[in-house]
Amino acid sequence: MSCLWFPYAQMQTMPLPLKVARAEGVKLCLENGQELIDAISSWWCAIHGYNNKEINAALQEQMQKFSHVMLGGLTHEPAERLAEKLVSKTQGLNHVFFADSGSVGMEVAMKMAVQFWKNNGVEGKYKFAALYKGYHGDTTGVMSIGDPEEGMHHLFKGFLPKQFFINPNLNEMESLFKEHSKEIAAFACEPLLQGAGGFNFYSPEFLKGAIALCKKYNVLFIADEIATGFGRTGTMFACEQAGVQPDIMVLGKALTGGYLGLSATLASTHVYNSFLGESEKAFMHGPTFMGNALACSAALASLEIFERENYLQKIARINEILEEELLNFEARGVKETRVLGACGVIETLSEKDHKGIQEFAAERGVWLRPFLNVVYTMPPYIISEKELRKVCRVMKEFFAPGSTHAQCCNVV
Ligand SMILES: Cc1ncc(COP(=O)(O)O)c(C=O)c1O
């Protein structure tokens, strides 16, 4: 084993990771010559697949000029154009703060919410409300608003600040706000689709009601669209399906088409204006690599392709195929299947019921990474119908009677 330390892995027992030599289109090409369809878009970010000629060219062009300059006191065209472009895709979110990862983008949103109230002369709002089964990243602040029971929260109990948690239920939310809204700076959620907490879906009605309650009780609303943004739930942003406009929205992952780390925290004019005035009101954050010129150039090229190639239509077709393939699927060990936008999920009764599926799928040319009790696909949007049906077939075959499931169960 190399000296690399891998994520979320018990290094002592982890099976040897598959070594990627190249990647092209939706395929990961391994050193051993094997090719795998990436059914999960490298943790949901590689929406154009790999080695996209247009994004490559945009990066090369930018690299000839400069790769990175600090954004403190300097500015550049890629960052300015990208900020304008993102603003044009939303309604009323007119200000963009860049950072280098989704987690940090969410940290930025939390700090923005706390400082918003302080700048408005409202003291005591230092807590957050969030949803059970939510996930917002791995850094300290955002870990505190991740699921307190099943997430990493419990490991770091005593270290993390205590926050408030509710289910996506408006009565619960109102009861919480009635008692604690004076302490709560913002409510944060992944709109419609909770990803890393187990691929749970909830209704746009909850979002609509939640934003109304936030307004009523003076709590800001933060939409974490890091996973849902850029079409994953069927619309450009999931919030659109509820017709709601958050006070703060965070984007990441697919923002650069999966090429480079970049996040954008967008704020409404109302939030932004509270930072104007005396120098102490300035927003106190500034990552070294914020607005990295290469990342911004990749994001601009990615958005250009997204629009020109009408990705929302491609996503609608992916959705139809996923529904056809997965919705009526029943098998031993399978609790439920569900589909939203370009995300298809097989939920098993327990983690044991999908043990071995990763190796099973890899042997058949598909890259999956199940976790908790879910096996899911979030494919690159360029996936062909044939490739997508193959992904679904392999996911289902594992559970079919007489599959080699039993042999695979010995492999972690
Ligand atoms: C909804 C959501 N928020 C935040 C993050 C953290 O993003 P990053 O891994 O880029 O820090 C993730 C990552 O999976 C996510 O799914």
CATH superfamily, with its number, for domain 310-408 = Aspartate Aminotransferase, domain 1 (3.90.1150.10)
User: Distance from the CA of 294 to the center of ligand 1, in angstroms?
Assistant: 21
Q: Are 225 and 207 in contact (CB under 8 A)?
A: no
Among protein residues, the one whose CA lies closest to atom 13 of ligand 1 = 137
pLDDT at 407 over 60: no
Our answer to whether residue 272 is catalytic in this structure is: no
Q: Stretch 260-271: mean pLDDT, rounded?
A: 98
The model's confidence at residue 411, banded by pLDDT at 50, 70 and 90, is very low
Q: Could you tell me the pTM of the whole model?
A: 0.97
Number of alpha carbons in the 13 Å side-chain half-sphere of residue 66: 11
pLDDT at 406 over 70: no
258: Cβ below 6 Å to ligand 1? no
Quote the pLDDT of residue 5.
Answer: 96
Percent of the chain whose pLDDT exceeds 70: 97
Atom of ligand 1 minimally distant from the CA of 103: 11
User: Distance from the CA of 7 to the center of ligand 1, in angstroms?
Assistant: 14
Least confident of 29-33, 156-160, 306-310, 345-349: 156-160
User: Distance from the CA of 216 to the center of ligand 1, in angstroms?
Assistant: 29
Domain 53-308: CATH class, spelled out: alpha beta
**Rounded Cα distance, 264 and 287, in Å:** 12
H or E stretch including 250?
strand 248-251
Quote the pLDDT of residue 164.
Answer: 98
The model's confidence at residue 150, banded by pLDDT at 50, 70 and 90, is confident
Quote the pLDDT of residue 410.
Answer: 35
Residue with the larger pLDDT of the pair 407 and 281: 281
110: Cβ below 6 Å to ligand 1? no
Written as six digits, the tokens of 345 are 């999920």
Quote the pLDDT of residue 98.
Answer: 98
What are the boundaries of each domain within the chain? 53-308, 310-408
Among protein residues, the one whose CA lies closest to atom 4 of ligand 1 = 136
Quote the pLDDT of residue 401.
Answer: 79
102: Cβ below 6 Å to ligand 1? yes
Interval 116-141: pLDDT, tens: 999 999 999 999 999 999 999 999 99
Our answer to whether residue 38 is catalytic in this structure is: no
pLDDT, averaged across the chain: 95
Interval 185-203: pLDDT, tens: 999 999 999 999 999 999 9
Interval 72-88: pLDDT, tens: 999 999 999 999 999 99
Quote the pLDDT of residue 404.
Answer: 55
Quote the pLDDT of residue 281.
Answer: 97
Interval 249-264: pLDDT, tens: 999 999 999 999 999 9
Quote the pLDDT of residue 1.
Answer: 57
Nearest to 202, CA basis, from 146, 173, 241, 172: 241
Q: Are 398 and 357 in contact (CB under 8 A)?
A: yes
Q: Stretch 151-167: mean pLDDT, rounded?
A: 90
DSSP 259-328: SS--EEEEEEHHHHHTT-SSGGGS-----TTTT-HHHHHHHHHHHHHHHHTTHHHHHHHHHHHHHHHHTT
Q: Stretch 157-181: mean pLDDT, rounded?
A: 96
Quote the pLDDT of residue 409.
Answer: 42
Quote the pLDDT of residue 412.
Answer: 29
224: Cβ below 6 Å to ligand 1? yes
Q: Stretch 156-179: mean pLDDT, rounded?
A: 96
DSSP 69-118: --SSS---HHHHHHHHHHHHTSSSEEEEEEESSHHHHHHHHHHHHHHHHH
Among protein residues, the one whose CA lies closest to atom 3 of ligand 1 = 136
Atom of ligand 1 minimally distant from the CA of 263: 10
The model's confidence at residue 400, banded by pLDDT at 50, 70 and 90, is confident
pLDDT at 405 over 60: no
Atom of ligand 1 minimally distant from the CA of 43: 14
Interval 21-76: pLDDT, tens: 999 999 999 999 999 999 999 999 999 999 999 999 999 999 999 999 999 999 99
pLDDT at 403 over 90: no
189: Cβ below 6 Å to ligand 1? no
